Amino acid sequence: MASSRMAERAHLLEAITEFLLRHELPVSPENLLCTHAIMSKTNLRLAKRVAELEEAGEPITQEWLDLQMSESLTADTASSNLDRLARELDRSMERFGESTRSAQEAANDYGAQLVQQTEMVANSSSEEEVVASLAQVARAMLDRTREMEEQMKKSEDEARDLRRNLAKARRDATIDYLTNLPNRRAFEDVFKSEWVAAQAEMEPMCLALCDIDFFKRVNDTHGHDTGDRVIRAVAQALDRISDNCHVARHGGEEFVLLFRGLDLAGASAALDAARERFAARHFVDKVSGKAIGGVTFSGGLTDVFAHPDLSSALRSADEALYRAKEGGRNRVELG
């Protein structure tokens, strides 16, 4: 057993080394981590993209790898910011609770002091002594009240700012920064609610994965700014398909769509029509003025209720998308 594990580790190390040398990539900590995720298939999506590029005979460049790692870092950072703000809000509410408890304790102290002063008034024969003592208690109460009001106002302001920042962070954590579409995390939440609603209404529901054809070629030839323009254009085209179609960026140049109330035939027709409209467009490089030409995308579509869960439906759509790529691209295949 131990020798088997050692052999597996040795094989993985050889695969990582061979990959870096084959693509002439620097042996940096970042590249080692990324290549480990590819070779060990702990990141299946990235491993699949690499396999597609290598099968097409295209090199894996440092720029392309950096883009993959940047997208992953963006998602991790949004999640980290969300966790940090939530912790800060918890601490702020704890401080507010402490201020409230302090105010309650101060009020109890004032009550006890007033009882003492009342007893003193009853037993004292000096009016001046009584007035001076009451004035002293009143000043102490006033000073303490002002101090508590300031503390509680500060806590309230802090909590309000944190709630506002937390709400923004939650929105940011579910929105793709480039396309303003929901991201994968938000899509999973939408899928859960739509799945329940569609089942209750006995409505059909289909899921599709779409991927921009030869996107790396656009990036390599015209640069990332143009590539970003293409991604945004595809996002807008898919987002206009139907009000009953939820669209999200699934990562990189890939999008996921959820069709509510459409069976496979209806969803396929809607997606195919969007594909044809987009393929008829022609793009121009804004910097050089040179024509980019037509840009197309391929899609894989599956019936959600033919699968036990989202993961299974995504695999089916992914397999159909792969067949669409293998079949010549710029087409929609059913899973």
Enzyme catalytic residues: 253
Q: Let me know: does 239 contact 247? Beta carbons within 8 Å.
A: yes
What is the distance between the alpha carbons of residues 315 and 331, in angstroms, rounded to a whole number? Answer: 18
- Tokens encoding 293: 């030409």
What is the distance between the alpha carbons of residues 55 and 326, in angstroms, rounded to a whole number? Answer: 11
Amino acid at 10: A
- Tokens encoding 275: 């594909």
What is the distance between the alpha carbons of residues 217 and 45, in angstroms, rounded to a whole number? Answer: 19
- Tokens encoding 131: 């007035």
Number of continuous H segments (helices) and E segments (strands) in the chain:
10, 7
Beta strand ranges found along 261-296 (DSSP E) = 283-284, 291-293
Q: Let me know: does 284 contact 290? Beta carbons within 8 Å.
A: yes
Residue written as token pair 């309000």:
160
Q: Let me know: does 195 contact 205? Beta carbons within 8 Å.
A: yes
